[in-house]
């Protein structure tokens, strides 16, 4: 009798313990809440995209085409009240007649009139791309345009070994870490990796529709949410 009672108590204890363990395993911490877009602002589309990024910290890529002025041509009042990032970006894409896709964790807005030359630059594939150590996003942008200039001025080259760059930006600008060596990677993929790193950010293609007179004509501007003042300067409408 006592043996049967002991066995029953042991079974009851094991059952309660199993339920407690299962319960503890089932209760996972909730995912971090997605920041929402709240703004009412009269501004250009580029300024609104910049504000959406600063509020939500989602990685964003912007690829204008031949008519790059569409981002800055007009100002109008945009209102978003508690809008999720994708919804706000989709509204901006419709405003600009751009497409919106999420590629490898980056919200990508692309114009319908991207020229073959602009696409060739974005899709240029480096067999080996050596980035180096930690650096600010502006440095990543400068190194990338230099690498593209080397590649397009000397088509035989399919690798880039990095270059010295002395930054004039704030000493407090956040630095990111990319793999020191990237293999079989495109220019657009490098920009995407950069804006997903650290505090995240936005990249804006300033690649000229056809002109290729200097490295500046091959620029993909990359800016960090961790340095809002510099981001506002980088992603301004150029007159």
Q: pTM of the predicted model, to two decimals? A: 0.80
Q: Has residue 115 been placed in a domain?
A: yes
Residue 4 inside a domain? The answer is no
Greater confidence, 46 or 158?
46
* Nearest by Cα to 105 from 186, 174, 182, 195: 195
Whole-angstrom Cα distance, residue 41 to residue 75?
A: 10
- Angle formed at CA 111 by CA 110 and CA 116, multiple of 5 degrees: 95
Say if 19 falls within a structural domain: no
Give the integer Cα–Cα distance in Å for 60 and 57.
Answer: 9
96-108: per-residue pLDDT in tens? 999 999 999 999 9
What is the rounded CA–CA span in Å between residue 217 and residue 239? 16
Q: What is the pLDDT of residues 15-66, one digit of tens each?
A: 544 455 444 455 555 545 679 999 999 999 999 999 999 999 999 999 999 9
The secondary structure of residue 171, as a DSSP letter, is T
In a domain, 2, yes or no: no
> How is residue 225 written in tokens?
């949410």
- Collect all residues with Cβ–Cβ distance below 8 Å to 141 and sequence separation of at least 6: 194, 203, 219, 220, 221, 222, 223
Residue 170 has what pLDDT?
53
Does any domain span residue 32?
no
Share of the chain above pLDDT 70, in %: 77
**Beta strand extents in 89-150 (DSSP E only):** 99-103, 106-110, 125-130
Q: Is residue 194 part of a domain?
A: yes
Torsion of CA 67, 38, 58, 165, to 10 degrees: 70
Residue owning tokens 């600008």: 173
Looking at the predicted structure, is the pLDDT value of residue 165 above 50? Answer: no
Inside any domain, residue 217: yes
C-alpha distances (whole Å) from 35 to each of 76, 98, 104, 169 are 24, 23, 20, 28
| pLDDT over 60 at 191, yes or no | yes
d(CA 61, CA 64): 10
Whether 46 and 71 have beta carbons less than 8 Å apart is answered as: yes
pLDDT in tens, 174-189: 888 888 899 999 999 9
Nearest to 226 by CA among 207, 205, 199, 204: 199
Q: Is 13 domain-assigned?
A: no
If you ran DSSP here, which 8-state letter would residue 215 be given? Answer: G
Q: How many domains does the chain have?
A: 1
Range of the structural domain that residue 130 is part of: 37-234
């Amino acid at each position: 009798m006592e043996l049967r009672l002991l066995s029953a108590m042991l079974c009851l204890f094991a059952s309660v313990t199993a339920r407690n363990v299962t319960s503890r395993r089932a209760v996972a911490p909730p995912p971090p809440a997605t920041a929402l877009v709240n703004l009412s602002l009269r501004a250009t589309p580029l300024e609104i995209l910049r504000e959406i990024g600063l509020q939500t910290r989602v990685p964003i890529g912007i690829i204008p085409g031949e008519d790059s002025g569409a981002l800055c041509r007009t100002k109008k009042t945009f209102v978003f009240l508690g809008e999720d990032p994708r919804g706000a970006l989709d509204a901006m894409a419709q405003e600009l007649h751009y497409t919106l896709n999420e590629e490898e964790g980056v919200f990508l807005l692309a114009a319908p009139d991207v020229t073959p030359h602009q696409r060739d630059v974005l899709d240029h594939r480096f067999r080996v791309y050596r980035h180096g150590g930690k650096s600010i996003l502006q440095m990543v942008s400068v190194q990338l345009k230099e690498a593209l200039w080397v590649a397009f001025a000397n088509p035989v080259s399919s690798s880039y070994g990095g270059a010295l760059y002395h930054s004039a930006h704030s000493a407090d600008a956040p630095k990111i870490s990319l793999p020191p060596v990237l293999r079989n990677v495109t220019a657009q993929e490098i920009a995407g990796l950069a804006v997903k790193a650290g505090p995240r950010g936005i990249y804006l293609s300033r690649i000229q529709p056809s002109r290729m007179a200097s490295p500046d004509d091959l620029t993909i501007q990359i800016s960090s949410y961790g340095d809002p003042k510099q981001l506002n300067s980088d992603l301004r409408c150029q007159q």
